[in-house]
Amino acid sequence: MPARTAAAVTATTTALAIALTACGGSEDRGGGGSAAPVRGGTFTYGAAVGTSCLDPHTSPGDITAVVQRNVFDSLVHLDAKGTFHPWLAASWEISDDARSYTFDLRDDVTFHDGTRFDAAAVKANLEHIRAPATKSLYAAALLGPYRNSEVLDEHRIRITFSEPSVPFLQAASTPYLGIASPASLARHKDELCAGGKFSVGSGPFRSERYVKNDRAEFTRNADYRWAPKGAAHQGPPLVDRLVVRFLPEDSVRAGALTSGQVDAAAVPITSAEALERDSSLELTARQAPGASYSLYLNTDRGPLRDERVRRAVQRSVDVDALVRGVYRGEYARAWSPLSPTTPGGYDDSIKGAIPHDPRGAAALLDRAGWTGRDSDGYRTKDGERLRLRWPYIAALVRDQRDVLGEAVQAELKKNGVDLVRDAVDTGAYFERYGKGDYDVWDNAWVRADPAILSGFYLSTQLPSAGGQNVSRTDDPRVDAWLRAGAAEKSPKEREKSYAKVERWAVDHGTVLPLYVPVTTVGVGRETRGLTFDANAWPQFAGVWKSDR
């Protein structure tokens, strides 16, 4: 999700002539040129995954945010340079202690169902997100220490928090805290995940139909007049219809792009080289901000309770060689749980903090008492094998992650660690996630603010509470640094607090960062106006197709 302030940007090493920029950006992709926009028609985008829920207040999925950004506007807009702009809120004031935000709202916004946007609508949305019945898996965490909302008048609202919450403004720019028609929240409270006609916002597109794991269809909102100043496109969309097709098979999605069945598509980076040779296409790749793709080690269970074992796991894996071999140099090796394109938080000095040191790892395991060996060569202690379990949903493993997982497994085996990869169904996966029934958990998360670390390391943010603290870290120092980061308005001081968390997480063996995720989108040469937000997610309000 989005963020602010200037980011330290690390370009992804790539052998391809792909435009690589910092996350965000508003340039026109697909053919360039300065021809007058062609209005009308249908634009089709091929997405890599589907979702079981299209309610951004409930679903934490990136694809939910990408799809529903077209439908739901936010209080504020965050541009690619880290600057906030008015959107549904015309202006705002933040208290000195960052415990309250007062928003003056626009008075000319109408939801797709004809309901007028006002302060009561904002309050209804925030209360809906926090309601236990909503079962929010991420939006509620973004609200953080939310206390209440007070409607001051028809277009003025004060939102208060029990603790300082500097990250709230960035959170308020995301689709997860997007504002829905309060009438739809009341009338369709049990049907919001179904999307389609039940998704009612004020955005540039109206939601028409959603066929689960097949497609989502939208029509132009001809009345749209309140795009934020920082947006690349102002006014109603240029196309009449937008269709998002869910095409999980990489080969099918690539084929749909090259054959012209879709106008743009999410491209697996491992297929980018072949598509780059197609002169009818252009590719854009961007490192995503937020949490790098990493393996989190459960500090609250089994052998990994011992920090020496966790550090041995880190040092047993030759991450450089694995990432380079599996992704052919097209992903950058990650050194931190935080992506280097995350504005206002990444600590560049962390590079090199986890060396590949199998001998040192072996010595750590010896000191931890895992000195025996069984008939298969795995280490043992008191007759117990050093076994770690890593659950995953086989149907959702994409973009070579299965190959990478097997490579990590083989690396650990060299040092006598038995990493068992458990293929489970979706229900069992999330049940184990909530209960902490795992030793290793892989994760990556998009958010353009270092406050993403709070989700992963604040002691109260366990998966059972809607957070992402899969390492189950519970350390008062970490909590204090994270709360300081949420309270400090000075960007430099915020960076210091979050840098302490990054370093602690790595040094105490809670995480093995693997690679920095990259959003790669391929577009046809006829495509114009496709832009990217601060999360490196594609934006469709200004897209159009040339007639050549």
Say if residue 319 is in the same domain as residue 353: yes
Per-residue pLDDT of 69-102, as tens digits, reads 999 999 999 987 788 999 999 999 999 999 999 9
Encoded amino acid at 544, one letter: W
Please, what's the b/e burial string for 92-113 (b: 16 or more CB within 10 A of its CB; e: otherwise)?
bebeeebbbbbbbbbeebbbbb
350 is a domain residue: yes
The answer to whether residues 115 and 233 belong to one domain is yes
- CATH number, position 345: 3.10.105.10
C-alpha distance from residue 335 to each of 257, 399, 454, 473 (Å): 34, 20, 18, 19
Q: How far is residue 365's CA from residue 287's CA, in Å, rounded to a whole number?
A: 35
State the average pLDDT for the chain. 89
Residue 219 domain flag? yes
Examine the pLDDT at 51 and tell me if it is beyond 80: yes
Over residues 26-51, the mean pLDDT reads: 75
Claim to verify: residue 177 and residue 303 sit in the same structural domain = no
Considering the domain boundaries, does residue 9 fall inside one? Answer: no
Look up residue 118 and give its two tokens.
């006002």
DSSP assignment letter at 302: G
Model pLDDT, residue 24: 37
Q: What are the pLDDT digits (tens) for 198-240?
A: 999 999 999 999 998 899 999 999 999 999 988 889 999 999 9
pLDDT at 116: 97
Cα 200 vs. chain centroid, distance in angstroms? 23
Tell me: the pLDDT tens digits for 482-524?
999 999 988 899 999 999 999 999 999 999 999 999 888 999 8
Question: Does one domain contain both 481 and 378?
Answer: yes
Is the same domain home to 453 and 326? yes
The pTM of the whole model exceeds 0.75: yes
Per-residue pLDDT, 1: 34
Q: In terms of domains, do 132 and 27 share one?
A: yes
421 alpha carbon, distance to own chain's centre: 24
Q: Are residues 251 and 340 in the same domain?
A: no
Percent of the chain at pLDDT exceeding 70: 92
Residue 395 pLDDT: 67
Q: Looking at residue 397, what is its pLDDT?
A: 59
Average pLDDT, integer, range 44-65: 91
How many structural domains is the chain composed of? 2
- List of residues 6+ apart from 410 with CB closer than 8 A: none
Please report, for residues 388, 432, 531, the alpha-carbon distance to residue 323 in angstroms, rounded to integers and kept in the order given.
Answer: 22, 27, 28
Q: How high is the pLDDT of residue 34?
A: 55
Place of tokens 């190959």: 403
**Same domain assignment for residues 250 and 391:** no
Buried b / exposed e across 487-517, counting CB within 10 Å, b at 16+? bbeebeebbbbbbbbbbbbbebbbbbbbbbb
Give me the torsion for CA of 334, 335, 340, 343, rounded to 10°.
Answer: 130
Instruction: Decide if 3 is inside a domain.
Output: no
pLDDT band at 400 (very low <50, low <70, confident <90, very high): low
SS3 of 76-134: the string is: EEECCCCCEEECCEEEEEECCCCCEEEEEECCCCECCCCCECCHHHHHHHHHHHHCHHH
DSSP for residue 489: -
Give the whole-angstrom CA distance, residue 65 versus residue 61.
Answer: 7
Classify each residue of 429-439 as buried b or exposed e, where b means 16 or more C-beta atoms within 10 Å of its C-beta.
beebbeebebb
* Res 36: pLDDT: 83
Which H or E run includes 503? helix 491-507
115 and 262 assigned to the same domain: yes
- Segments forming the whole domain that contains residue 346: 290-516
pLDDT of residue 267: 87
